[in-house]
Amino acid sequence: MDRDNAFVGQSTEFLDAVERASRAAGLNRPVLVIGERGTGKELVAERLHRLSPRWAGPLVTLNCAALPETLIEAELFGHEAGAFTGATRARVGRFEEADGGTLFLDELATLSSGAQERLLRAVEYGEVTRIGSSRAISVDVRIVAATNEHLPALVDQGRFRADLLDRLSFEVVTLPPLRVREGDVAVLADHFGRRMAAELDWPRWPGFGRHAAAALAAHDWPGNVRELRNVVERAVYRWEDPERAIDDIEFDPFASPWRMAPLRAAGPLPAAERAAAATPSPHADMPCDDLREAVATYERGLLEAALRRARYNQRAAAVALKLSYDQLRHALKKHDLLEKEGQAIEVRSP
């Protein structure tokens, strides 16, 4: 199986979405797949096709955002020779290619109004007309479409046709983001780690150390499964000792002490930046008659903030502060932040 085709997860939220897609697969009806980037919309579209009576037919994919507005209709519906500049010969569109199978339209919300109108006719009547032709061609195609936009809101804004949405939304499968899929981060991380270790010909899979596992669990995963896969595979290939558990995780591949600062066009500073530059540091004129007490107060505030961001997971907080677990525990004890009778701040170990 290709590395991108893994369908892994055990959380209730994930399994419910998969079950909904599986039940809809056998029906010859359009399906909308909604989800954030990296949640696996393409995998669900493939599942809908493979479990349908059309499984032996073609699965044709088109990313609607990958083509300029001037070409998207020709790509979808085809064109005749001479239909426009550069059209030296006739070409079938994706609808004709998908005849008898499934057409997966990714990034559906980016379709132009003209393409939406032609798509509506194709869905409603099962016919497409190539650009430059007056002859309609019958096609037998099931539509599966995906987007990370809220389409009803786009309808209210006039950016998406309400009648097209009505025809495409027989079933809507909404994929949960990774951050709400309880327990799936560890399962997916182990899956991707094992695959990368095998690709590197490691003799065995050493797993993740406690600090790395805590960091993976505490991360918010804005890029979802795609981001997780990249983070895990990067950690595995950078790890130099395949006999030891991997215990170093880097979430930002651009992190570097030599990272280039963004270039700024010549000219006066924006008003907000001028105001910020003119504003003195909040510590510049701060009265301080006890340096040790001021430093201790500041350090305690940093510890409390790190604990809150890590949801009081001490190991995750240690990773965020670039401390060892023992160093964090020592600092917490120093500032009376460990659990004890009457303590207001809750601290949990994994």
Q: What are phi and psi of 309, to 5 degrees?
A: -65, -30
Determine how many CB atoms are found less than 10 A away from the CB of residue 175.
26
* Homologous superfamily of the 3-82+90-176 domain (CATH): P-loop containing nucleotide triphosphate hydrolases (3.40.50.300)
pLDDT at site 260: 74
Q: Return the domain boundaries, the chain.
A: 3-82+90-176, 193-238, 289-350
43 and 2 Cβ atoms separated by less than 8 Å: no
Over range 61-87, report the average pLDDT: 84
Amino acid type, 185 = V
pLDDT at site 31: 98
CB-count exposure of residue 310 (10 Å: 0-12, 13-18, 19+): buried
Instruction: Assess whether pLDDT exceeds 80 at residue 70.
Output: no
* pLDDT confidence band for 43 (50 / 70 / 90): very high
CB-count exposure of residue 234 (10 Å: 0-12, 13-18, 19+): middle
Residue of 163 and 327 predicted with greater confidence: 163
Determine how many CB atoms are found less than 10 A away from the CB of residue 6.
16
pLDDT at site 79: 86
Whole-number mean pLDDT of the chain? 87
Structure-block tokens of residue 153: 């809101």
pLDDT at site 330: 86
The secondary structure element, H or E, covering residue 128 is: strand 127-129
DSSP type of residue 341: T
pLDDT at site 250: 92
Instruction: Assess whether pLDDT exceeds 50 at residue 341.
Output: no
Distance between CA atoms of 50 and 44, rounded to whole angstroms?
10
Structure-block tokens of residue 18: 């998969």
* pLDDT confidence band for 286 (50 / 70 / 90): low
Does the pTM of the predicted model rise above 0.75?
Answer: no
79 and 132 Cβ atoms separated by less than 8 Å: yes
Over range 151-155, report the average pLDDT: 96
Residues 6+ apart with CB under 8 A from 345: 304, 307, 312, 337
Q: Domain 289-350 carries which CATH code?
A: 1.10.10.60
Over range 63-78, report the average pLDDT: 87
* Collapsed DSSP state (helix, strand, coil) of residue 94: helix
Over range 262-282, report the average pLDDT: 61
Over range 228-238, report the average pLDDT: 96
* pLDDT confidence band for 343 (50 / 70 / 90): very low
Residue of 134 and 24 predicted with greater confidence: 24
Distance between CA atoms of 113 and 72, rounded to whole angstroms?
11
Residue of 52 and 292 predicted with greater confidence: 52
DSSP type of residue 103: E
The secondary structure element, H or E, covering residue 178 is: none
What is the chain's percent helix, strand, coil content, to nearest 5?
45, 10, 45
* pLDDT confidence band for 323 (50 / 70 / 90): confident
Distance between CA atoms of 173 and 145, rounded to whole angstroms?
10
Instruction: Assess whether pLDDT exceeds 90 at residue 96.
Output: yes
Q: Point out which residues pair with 225 in neighbouring strands.
A: none
pLDDT at site 340: 43
Instruction: Assess whether pLDDT exceeds 90 at residue 41.
Output: yes
- What is the DSSP annotation of 5-16? G------HHHHH
Distance between CA atoms of 70 and 115, rounded to whole angstroms?
10
Distance between CA atoms of 271 and 256, rounded to whole angstroms?
30
Of the given ranges (88-97, 107-116, 234-243), which has the lowest mean pLDDT?
A: 88-97
pLDDT at site 298: 84
Pairing of strands 127-129, 102-106: unpaired
pLDDT at site 291: 81
pLDDT at site 180: 95
pLDDT at site 270: 65
The secondary structure element, H or E, covering residue 120 is: helix 113-125
